[in-house]
Amino acid sequence: MIRIIVSTLICAGLAAPAVAQAQSALPREGTIEQTLIFHSTFQRVALDKEFTQVVYDAYGSALATNEGGFGDRSTGRCVGTQRYIKGKFDTEIGGCQFVDRSGDTYFTSYTVLGTDMPGHTTTKGSYVGGTGKYAGITGSYETRRQGLPSPGEGRGASLSFAKGTYRLP
């Protein structure tokens, strides 16, 4: 049993540099397909009887549909806010920073309009910058987000599928 675990860890360690190398050879433009899973903490602030603002901080991971593709196995942090008017979802805005396995980062900005809530939402976003191989990135994406069961009071979880395009200088 111990040999199997050690062999698995060694193989995983040998595979990690190959994935990082695949990500370092990013084409100047291309398509993006990712699955993202995020967990968040949030605070709901009732500003008056009809207007509520929710502020959240979310952490998660992105897996490219094709191994080694754009942002594969990156981790991310997103901060944002949702607005509710008369108890009905109105809009959401936010931004994220993702770090890939080689340490390079890319940044996104996004918006959700109230017509999609609850359950599933369509997020429209933009790539707004980055470091390393993502420096100067531009592009756009759309995600289909589904809420998952809450892990507890003041916490959220979601599963998203993203598709988009990017361009590098």
Beta bridge partners of 30: 166
pLDDT at position 116 is 56
Q: What is the DSSP letter of 10?
A: H
pLDDT the model gives residue 89: 87
- pLDDT by residue (tens digit) across 99-117? 999 999 999 999 987 765 5
pLDDT of residue 58: 97
CATH of 2-167, one of 2.40.10.120, 2.40.37.10, 3.90.480.20, 2.40.350.10: 2.40.350.10
Give the confidence band of 30 by pLDDT, cuts at 50, 70, 90: very high
- Cβ–Cβ < 8 Å for 76, 99: yes
How far from each other are the two terminal CA atoms of the chain, in whole angstroms?
Answer: 50
Backbone angles phi, psi at 161, to 5 degrees: -120, 120
Task: Give the CA count within 13 Å in the CB-facing half-sphere of 121.
Answer: 21
Answer left, alpha or beta for residue 11, where phi above 0 means left and psi between -120 and 50 means alpha.
alpha
